[in-house]
């Protein structure tokens, strides 16, 4: 392949099979059919290059000059230029014609490429659930070094910082996610869990709250505060237990505060956590 080390390269009939078809089994190949005389092509070219290089080395841009490579253009039924065809595993998975806006081009290519970090994110989430915090953090931070705007990795790292008790770091990470991002609602849920620390501190801390509860075990406000302290201390099973006890005694306590607290803890732990699965079932029994 000509200039195979580069992410952007020219191709011809001589190297098309190797540079595009064969290469598409290792990465996504964006094929730009263009010509020097084509003004829209000259507009589109730099945009394609910018988008492709920003999305990582799992995507490459192959440029085909149709004046010099009419056979390739005929083979791919190119009727007008600029035309872009996205190839993966030897077949066209997406295509468009004309100089589209950059955000639309980015969306089309991203949709065709999928999320190359998904496996790494799943692995990091599993490590975090298993208490292997350092290993999980290394993966999240590596992903963010490669793509600083990766909101899924930001969410993962923010959740991890909550698990580790680093509330300010978690707040900073989760607050950075834009309202326009699809992960924003998840970030807001996780941010709401930071109130556990505020409640625990306001009510005097773990020891003082335990003492009050021993004197007045029916006080649901005190029990709620204790659940918050357990959550802050990463003792999630005891926290869930306290909130569930409140629900058993009064489902509507403080406008459903205990139920909301449990749901927030499920968000921290993740849907596949053993604690989440067990306590979600216990919660359902009480509510339904």
- Determine contact, residues 128/136, Cβ cutoff 8 Å: yes
Indicate the average pLDDT of the chain: 90
Q: What is the pLDDT of residues 217-272, one digit of tens each?
A: 999 999 999 999 999 888 999 999 999 999 999 999 999 999 999 999 998 888 88
Give the C-alpha distances (Å, rounded to integers) separating 93 from 79, 84, 110: 18, 11, 12
Neighbours of 245 (CB within 10 A): 16
Q: Is it the case that residue 115 has pLDDT exceeding 80?
A: no
- Which of 58, 82, 113 is at the close of a domain? 113
Judge whether 189 lies within some domain.
no
Q: How many domains does the chain have?
A: 3
Judge whether 166 lies within some domain.
yes
- Which of 129, 161, 184 is at the close of a domain? 184
Q: What is the pLDDT of residues 239-253, one digit of tens each?
A: 999 999 999 999 999
Same domain, residue pair 93 and 19:
yes
Neighbours of 225 (CB within 10 A): 26
> Which residue is listed with tokens 């009510």?
203
Determine the average pLDDT of the residues in 123-148.
89
Same domain, residue pair 93 and 126:
no
Where residue 136 falls among pLDDT bands split at 50, 70, 90?
A: very high
> Which residue is listed with tokens 């730009």?
32
Same domain, residue pair 144 and 214:
no
Same domain, residue pair 219 and 165:
no
> Which residue is listed with tokens 């094929």?
31
- Which of 156, 184, 212 is at the close of a domain? 184
Rg (CA), the chain: 26
* Residue 17, C-beta contacts closer than 8 angstroms, at least 6 positions apart: none
pLDDT at position 208, please?
96
Judge whether 108 lies within some domain.
yes
Active-site residue numbers?
38, 41
- Determine contact, residues 88/24, Cβ cutoff 8 Å: yes
Same domain, residue pair 123 and 210:
no
pLDDT at position 66, please?
94
pLDDT at position 60, please?
93
pLDDT at position 116, please?
64
Q: Residue 206 is inside which H or E element, if any?
A: helix 206-215
Determine the average pLDDT of the residues in 119-130.
84
pLDDT at position 252, please?
93
Same domain, residue pair 202 and 141:
no
Q: What is the pLDDT of residues 75-113, one digit of tens each?
A: 999 999 999 999 998 899 999 999 888 888 888 888 887
Domain that holds residue 74: 8-113
Same domain, residue pair 71 and 163:
no
Judge whether 2 lies within some domain.
no
Q: Is it the case that residue 1 has pLDDT exceeding 70?
A: no
Helix (H, G, I), strand (E, B) or coil at 58: coil
Same domain, residue pair 131 and 93:
no
């Amino acid at each position: 392949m000509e200039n195979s080390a580069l992410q952007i390269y020219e191709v011809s009939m001589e190297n098309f099979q190797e540079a595009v078809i064969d290469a598409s089994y290792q990465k996504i190949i964006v094929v730009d059919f263009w010509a020097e005389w084509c003004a829209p092509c000259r507009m589109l070219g730099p945009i394609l290059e910018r988008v492709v290089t920003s999305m990582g080395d799992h995507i490459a841009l192959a440029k085909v000059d149709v004046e010099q490579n009419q056979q390739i253009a005929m083979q791919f039924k190119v009727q007008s230029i600029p035309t872009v065809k996205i190839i993966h595993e030897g077949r066209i998975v997406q295509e468009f014609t004309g100089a589209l806006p950059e955000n639309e081009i980015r969306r089309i290519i991203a949709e065709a490429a999928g999320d190359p970090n998904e496996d790494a994110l799943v692995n990091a989430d599993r490590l975090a659930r298993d208490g292997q915090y350092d290993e999980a953090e290394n993966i999240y931070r590596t992903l963010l070094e490669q793509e600083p705007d990766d909101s899924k990795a930001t969410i993962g790292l923010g959740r991890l910082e909550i698990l580790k008790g680093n509330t300010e770091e978690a707040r900073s990470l989760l607050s950075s996610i834009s309202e326009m991002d699809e992960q924003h609602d998840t970030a807001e849920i996780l941010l709401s869990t930071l109130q556990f620390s505020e409640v625990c501190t306001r009510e005097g801390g773990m020891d003082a709250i335990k003492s009050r509860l021993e004197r007045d075990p029916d006080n649901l406000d005190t029990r709620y505060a204790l659940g918050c302290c357990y959550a802050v201390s990463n003792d999630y099973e005891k926290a869930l237990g306290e909130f569930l006890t409140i629900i058993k005694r009064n489902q509507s306590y403080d406008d459903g505060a205990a139920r909301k607290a449990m749901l927030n803890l499920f968000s921290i732990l993740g849907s596949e956590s053993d604690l989440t699965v067990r306590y979600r079932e216990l919660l359902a029994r009480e509510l339904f």
